Structure 1
Amino acid sequence: MTTPVEVFRALHHGRAPQDPLVLPGPWDAASARVFEEAGFPALATPSAGVAASLGYEDGSTPADEMFAAVTRIVRSVSVPVSADVESGYGLPPKELVARVLDAGAVGVNLEDSEAGALKDAEAHAAWLAEVRAEAGDRLFVNARVDTYVRGVRDAEETIRRARLYVAAGADGVYPILAPPDHLPRLRASIEAPLNAVFHPDGPSLTELGRLGATRITFGPGLLHRTMGALRGVAAEL
């Protein structure tokens, strides 16, 4: 019998360039059900979206509340769910993996910056290797590369970090906010599924796939669009 993590991992491979894996980001159980009902094969929680739904600023959600939110989302749907757990909340790899698995998630986003600064890439790769060793094949590890977020717009540094993380056992890499024109170079230089973030004023989902994105996520963007619609309803009332 195929397990949920095997289903999730398989979704990242063998895709045509014009058919990237599109993973909406639910912030609670209700939004997760809407995305599942729309036919998406898997979901990926955004930490910023979950934080906003719980009344926190991005990056300040207590670990217990984040894991509880992920657990509720996973319980509410039958499709695989990957969880953004930021930089791991300072948990040792064994505890981090155990908590992600207890929440029912099949994957994680783990970022390489903390407190507004990039981590040492080699040290982060060593930490990812420990996470991989603890998780075995039970989690899809998506290594977020924060170079562009932190103002380092050097594709070569992004590639260097991504390669270190793939060598450490990451299943995929996520150079968040990479400019679309950098995607072909990143795709050609990194031997792992490449995650890109969608922006309404940027390339379409199909075009992002053609540029090199294997997987497309939205950060808190879908929550922001929903809140915009809700403000319209509130104003009408």
Structure 2
Amino acid sequence: MTDLRAHAETLRELHGKEMLVLPNAWDAVSATVVVEAGFPVVATASAAISAMLGYPDGQGAPWQEMFAAAARIARAVPVPVTVDAEAGYGLPPRELVDRLLDTGAVGCNLEDTDHQAGGLVDAGAHAEWLASVRSAADDAGVPIVINARVDAFLPSSGIAEPDRLAEAMRRGRLYRDAGADCVYPIGVRHKRDLAALVADLACPVNGNTGDELDLATLRDLGVARVSYGPRFYRAAMDDLKTRVRELIQAT
């Protein structure tokens, strides 16, 4: 528990220093590559791990298998690990925290998509649930770093495009006030929208690179954390496809 607390504090402190860049991993080997390259934290990508395990993204994989994969990653590296725990797999807050700590991880992404009904969960109810996760982590004695993902910009949210920014701000404020350490408005494509979110939320914000948002721009905007999701996994699979097709053509 002492090591977990130290890792959690390190992860939290890294959100307030230089921009924390997270090339997401999906297994022990990819996590080791990330650490050997010099990155101080390993983040998992649920879409990549689900695909590796043979399941669809969006809580399509059993949580036991997802957490087992996270545990293998945490055992393989000496740095803090933060887990993409999707929407929490329907686990009660205390059990979610206990299972997360059992893997050796000290941070988690928690998203507000309703994977059964579609669209987004009620923002107020989700904020209360996040507050319960925060309380459970406090009770466990490990200050888990909660990255609250706001899915308002995703087409699957059902929110009309002109309304997405305001809704992301509303949800982000609720989640921040509930105890989230960082707010992650996934799917933001425009610099103006991300700048408005960083200014409005006044807390660490997780961004993604894109056409208008390279690393230098994200740093200038004051983004605290940058993640890549399954991009590197997909790039690796694309490279594999190319190489095996070249091989079959040569045989």
Give the TM-score band, short-chain normalised.
Answer: over 0.9
Question: How far did residue 231 of structure 1 move?
Answer: 1.4
CA contact (8 A) 2:168 2:185 kept: yes
Aligned CA RMSD, in angstroms, stands at 1.4
* Counterpart in the other structure of 2:23: 24
Q: Pick from 134, 143, 148 the counterpart of residue 138 of structure 1.
A: 143
Report the Cα distance in structure 2 between the residues aligned to 1:49 and 1:209, rounded to whole angstroms: 26
Q: 2:9 corresponds to which letter in structure 1?
A: E
CA contact (8 A) 1:25 1:222 kept: yes
Question: How far did residue 198 of structure 1 move?
Answer: 2.7
Cα deviation code 1:51-96 (max 9, x no counterpart): 0111111020100000000000111111111000111100000100
Q: 2:171 corresponds to which letter in structure 1?
A: R
* Counterpart in the other structure of 2:130: 128
Sequence identity percentage = 49
Question: How far did residue 179 of structure 1 move?
Answer: 2.1
Cα deviation code 1:164-195 (max 9, x no counterpart): 01110000000000123211100000021100
Q: 1:119 corresponds to which letter in structure 2?
A: V
Aligned residues: 232
CA contact (8 A) 2:189 2:212 kept: no
- 1:111 partnered with 2:114: no
TM-score (norm 2): 0.89
Higher fraction of helix = 2
Report the Cα distance in structure 1 between the residues aligned to 2:158 and 2:215, rounded to whole angstroms: 25
Question: How far did residue 236 of structure 1 move?
Answer: 2.5
Structure 2 unaligned segments of length 5 or more: list them.
Answer: none
Report the Cα distance in structure 2 between the residues aligned to 1:37 and 1:52, rounded to whole angstroms: 24
Q: Pick from 178, 185, 210 the counterpart of residue 220 of structure 2.
A: 210
- 1:102 partnered with 2:102: yes
- 1:11 partnered with 2:22: no
Question: How far did residue 151 of structure 1 move?
Answer: 4.4
Please identify the structure whose Cα radius of gyration is greater. 2
Question: How far did residue 202 of structure 1 move?
Answer: 4.9
- 1:220 partnered with 2:230: yes
Structure 1 unaligned segments of length 5 or more: list them.
Answer: none
Question: How far did residue 203 of structure 1 move?
Answer: 2.7
Report the Cα distance in structure 2 between the residues aligned to 1:98 and 1:198, rounded to whole angstroms: 32
Cα deviation code 1:136-185 (max 9, x no counterpart): 25200000001011243321111111010111000000000012321110
Question: How far did residue 214 of structure 1 move?
Answer: 1.3
Q: Which stretches of structure 1, 4 residues or more, deviate above 3 A after TM superposition? A: none
